[in-house]
Amino acid sequence: MQDIIIIRYSEIGLKSKQVRRKLERLLAGNIKAAFAQAGNDCSLRRGYGRIYLRADAAAARRILPYVFGISSYSVCQAAAANMEAITALAAIAAKRIGKDNTFKVAATRAGVHSFTSMDINRQAGRVIEQQTGARVNLSRPDLTVSIEVRDKEAYVYTEKKECGRGLPLGSQGTVLAVIRNRKDAIACWLMMRRGCLPTLAFCCTPAQEKTLYSLLANWAPGTKLETERLPAIDLAGTKGVAARHGAIALCSATTLPFSKEDIGLPCFNPLALWKKADISLFLRQPGKLT
């Protein structure tokens, strides 16, 4: 049985209509590729500001946090956009609320309906209160029952899982990422988050290469990252690798031993203004490069 998952994006929504559609299509394709690579079926449709995914919820929880372009997702239940169906579904979603817990209902609505978002909040809240005995707390509730009404459908959920955000992988062209250590891997990760598809040029031991490749590949589900080995970071070798892979820029944690004028490509150093404490904090965050 497939579940319904609401997928949200943030930065994509700031683009013009034409660019937004292009990025939405790319994000949808990346999601499908990630599920296919994991051996899971899925189907999806695009809505304004949302992607609605039908897939196994357990698979979605494993895959979606690592798909760049997604800001958050929620596994939800769907119902017709009428008050009776919405309040019934809200009561089911709130079953885990105990009488000593607090809750609130947060409804949003898009489309033409015979009720307002405040009507949903009041009526769903009343039903949950009657069935569970729980109290309403609008400032610090133990559980929030969220309801999104979009035209003829309503979606109810109680959890919102944060993801990697950024732009869809591959939307900003190919960069050659020089990887010597974990700091370079962080720089590559930051470029991936901006939508760049990296070719990984390793200049480290085979053991380090295996570890760092695995860390970065986790953030490219459904995509095989191209790799190269650089015996040394020199102008001729690096320029040749960049040309073979059609790279439009280079990235690394620190300045490379040649200028952008020499190699003829922009050279990005995303960690240029980072302090050691910033890097240590980043590496301690779960779900990053740990």
Q: What is the pLDDT of residue 95?
A: 84
- CA 238 to CA 222: how far, in whole Å? 27
Give yes or no: residues 13 and 47 share one domain. yes
E strand segments, the chain = 3-8, 42-47, 50-55, 72-80, 102-110, 135-136, 143-150, 153-157, 161-162, 174-179, 197-202, 227-229, 249-251, 267-268
What mean pLDDT comes out for the span 216-221?
Answer: 95
- Asked whether the predicted pLDDT for residue 290 surpasses 70, the reply is no
pLDDT at 48 over 60: yes
3 state SS for 176-196: EEEECCHHHHHHHHHHHHCCC
Share the mean pLDDT of the chain. Answer: 92
Give the pLDDT of residue 278.
Answer: 82
Q: Indicate if 115 and 94 belong to the same structural domain.
A: yes
Is position 162 within any domain? no
Are 31 and 83 found together in one domain?
A: no
- CA neighbor of 86 nearest in space, from 118, 61, 123, 111: 123
* Residue 42: inside a domain: yes
Give the Cα separation of 15 and 247 in Å (integer).
24
CATH number, domain containing residue 228 = 3.40.50.620
277 shares a domain with 180 = yes
pLDDT above 70: residue 287: no
259 lies in the same domain as 197: yes
Q: Is the pLDDT of residue 1 over 60?
A: no
**192 exposure class (CB count in 10 Å sphere: 0-12, 13-18, 19+):** buried
Give the pLDDT of residue 216. Answer: 95
Are residue 187 and residue 110 in the same domain, yes or no? no
Residue-wise pLDDT tens digits, 158-204: 999 999 899 999 999 999 999 999 999 999 999 999 999 999 999 99
pLDDT per residue as tens digits for the range 65-98: 999 999 999 999 999 999 999 999 988 888 888 8
Query: Is residue 99 included in any domain, yes or no?
Result: yes
> Do 195 and 280 sit in the same domain of this protein?
yes
- Same-domain pairing of 41 and 120: no
CATH of residue 29:
3.30.70.1510
Q: What is the mean pLDDT of residues 49-75?
A: 95
11 and 101 inside one domain: no
The mean pLDDT value for 24-52 works out to 94
Is 131 contained in some domain? yes
pLDDT of residue 32: 97
Eight-state DSSP code of residue 66: G
> Could you tell me what percent of the chain has a pLDDT over 90?
80
Report d(CA 62, CA 50) in Å as an integer. 20
Domain boundary among 21, 36, 71: 71
Mean pLDDT of the region 31-50 = 94
For residues 139 and 180, is the Cβ–Cβ distance under 8 A? no
| Residue 9: inside a domain | yes
pLDDT digits (tens, 9 = 90+) for 230-267: 999 999 999 999 999 999 999 999 989 998 999 999 99
Q: Mark which of 157, 187, 208 sits at the end of a domain.
A: 157
Of 36, 55, 71, which closes a domain? 71
Q: What is the CA radius of gyration of the chain?
A: 23
Query: Is residue 91 situated within a structural domain?
Result: yes
Domain residues for the domain of 261 are 174-284
Say if residues 13 and 51 touch (Cβ distance below 8 Å): no
Over residues 30-53, the mean pLDDT reads 94
Q: What's the CATH code of the domain at 151?
A: 3.30.2300.10
Asked whether residue 134 falls in the same domain as residue 63, the answer is: no
Do residues 263 and 176 lie in contact, with contact meaning Cβ atoms separated by under 8 Å? no
Q: Are residues 211 and 109 in the same domain?
A: no
pTM of the predicted model as reported, rounded to 2 decimal places: 0.90
Domain count for the chain: 3
Q: At what angle do helices 206-217 and 182-193 cross, to 10 degrees?
A: 20
Cβ atoms of 113 and 81 closer than 8 Å: yes
Pairing between β-strand 143-150 and β-strand 153-157 as defined by DSSP bridges: antiparallel
CA dihedral 52, 56, 58, 60 (to 10 degrees): -30
Is position 163 within any domain? Answer: no
Torsion over CA: 29, 12, 66, 176 (sign)? positive
Based on the fold, state whether residues 53 and 93 are members of the same structural domain: no
Please report whether residue 208 resides in a domain: yes
